[in-house]
Amino acid sequence: MTDLSPRQREILDYLEMYKEERGYPPTLREICKKFAISSTNGARYHLQRLMKLGYLEIDPHKSRGVKQVKEVSPGARKRSYQMPILGMVPAGPLDLASPDMREEDLQVDPGFFGNRGLEPDLFGVRVRGDSMIDEGILDGDIVVVRPQPNPNNGDIVVARVEDTATVKRFKRVADAIVLEPANPEVETIRVPDRGGVEYGQNVAILGVVVGLIRSM
C-alpha cells in the first residue's frame, strides 16, 4: 500500500495504540501535542486525508469522533513508534511537543515493549555518566521513561536536579527522599519529603524507568 505518507502511517499507528491503551481515540489537541503540530487545523488535515483514503471515519460533532475502519496491511505498515528523546530537562512541567526539549525522535520497534505494549507518553533520556553502572545503566544509554511523578519505593527514576536530569533509585525514608546511585563513588542525593512532586532544592521526579536502549 503506497498511498500513505510516513506521517500518515505514524498517525494511524498512534491512533491504534492510543485506542488499545485507553479504549477511546485521542482528541485533535492530543494528536497535535504528540506530533508537534502547531494547530488543530494541521491535525484535522491529516485526519481528513486518511478519511478520504478510507482508513478513518470522523464524527465532527464529537471531540473523540475518530474511528479507524481500515488497517494498514502488515507488509506495508511501518510498525514503529517515534519516541522523543529529551535534549534538555524543563524547570516546569514536561511538554514533549516542545521542539526546545526534543533532541531527536527515536524510531522504536513496538516489539521492544513486550507484553506490556506501547504507552503513548513514553520518552527517552540519554544517560550521561556512570552513577548507575552497577544496575547495568551505562554512559550513552537511553533510558525509556514513563511519566510518573509519584514513584514507588525502590523504582529507578529520572529526576530533575536543578536543570539537569539524573537517573537514580528512588527511596522514601522517614521525612526525606533519597536518590541513590548504583556506584559507590557517586554521592547520594537526599532532600526533604514535602509530600508532593517537588522535593525542595529544585528536585522533581519526571518519571519511572521502564526500559533501556543501548547504542552499539
What the chain holds in terms of domains, given with CATH numbers, is 6-68 (1.10.10.10), 88-213 (2.10.109.10)
Among candidate residues 62, 168, 171, 215, the one labeled active-site is 168
Q: Tell me, what's the pLDDT at 96?
A: 52
**What number of helices (H) and strands (E) belong to the chain?**
3, 11
Pair type for strands 123-126 and 81-86: parallel
Mean pLDDT by 10 residues, the chain (216 residues): 70 82 83 85 88 86 78 51 67 51 70 58 85 89 86 90 82 86 91 60 81 74
Among candidate residues 38, 131, 171, 215, the one labeled active-site is 131
Q: Tell me, what's the pLDDT at 156?
A: 94
CB-CB neighbours of 147 under 10 Å = 16
Q: Tell me, what's the pLDDT at 77?
A: 45
CB of 127 closer than 8 Å to CB of 86:
no
Cα-Cα-Cα-Cα torsion 205, 144, 85, 88, nearest 10 degrees, comes to 20
Q: Tell me, what's the pLDDT at 78?
A: 47
131 is catalytic: yes
Q: Tell me, what's the pLDDT at 202?
A: 63
CB of 187 closer than 8 Å to CB of 121:
no
CA 151 to each of CA 24, 36, 80, 139, 192: distance values in angstroms, whole numbers, following the listed order: 26, 28, 28, 23, 16
